[in-house]
Amino acid sequence: SNPLLPLPVLQAAHCQMIKDLSACLLGQNLRVDCRYENKTDNPLTYEFSITKDNRKHVIHSTISVSENIYRSRANVTMHKNLVCLHLQSFTTSDEGIYMCELKATNDYTGNQIKNITVIKDKLEKCAGFSLLIQNTSWLLLLLLSLP
């Protein structure tokens, strides 16, 4: 038997860095939340891109150069365990598959990638930071746990 066999499994478990990718509309702007699990204090690099008509366009990135048409409309904010893309004046021409790519400096597992398909009519409005409160099952759990 090959003693090196279990190694890829360990690596795969280690590199589940991006936990969740979600998109919502804030007024006329698109917000894409890329939540990750912070396993290191190393600086984080990111890239947000869109694939449409089978072509990848970089919207905002610290890894490569973003395209001019997006650069003026996009900005990224970083919070604890969250990298957030804001794209102004979102229209149907901005529909496509959005990709969040994260890489921690010196992380041997390489880049983490997650995709989400964004269609304007199917987007929900951003709930700000009161997401938990609007989640009824969470409220129910809270009520059930009260003495």
pLDDT tens per residue, range 61-109: 998 999 988 989 999 999 888 999 999 999 999 999 999 999 887 766 6
Question: For residue 46, which amino acid is it?
Answer: Y
How high is the pLDDT of residue 43? 81
pTM: predicted TM-score of the whole model, two decimal places: 0.74
pLDDT range class, residue 2, cuts 50, 70, 90: low
pLDDT range class, residue 138, cuts 50, 70, 90: low
Q: Which residues lie closer than 8 Å to 23 by C-beta, 6 or more apart?
A: 30, 31, 32, 33, 98, 116, 118, 123
Residue 9 above 70 pLDDT?
no
Q: What would the pLDDT profile of 15-43 be if each residue is shown by its tens digit?
A: 458 899 999 999 899 999 999 987 777 78
Identify whether the C-beta of residue 15 lies closer than 8 Å to the C-beta of residue 109. Answer: yes
Residue 121 above 70 pLDDT?
yes
Residue 1 above 70 pLDDT?
no
Q: In terms of CATH, what superfamily is 17-122?
A: Immunoglobulins (2.60.40.10)
> Domain segments of the chain: what residues?
17-122
Parallel, antiparallel, or unpaired for β 82-87 and 96-104?
A: unpaired
How high is the pLDDT of residue 131? 47
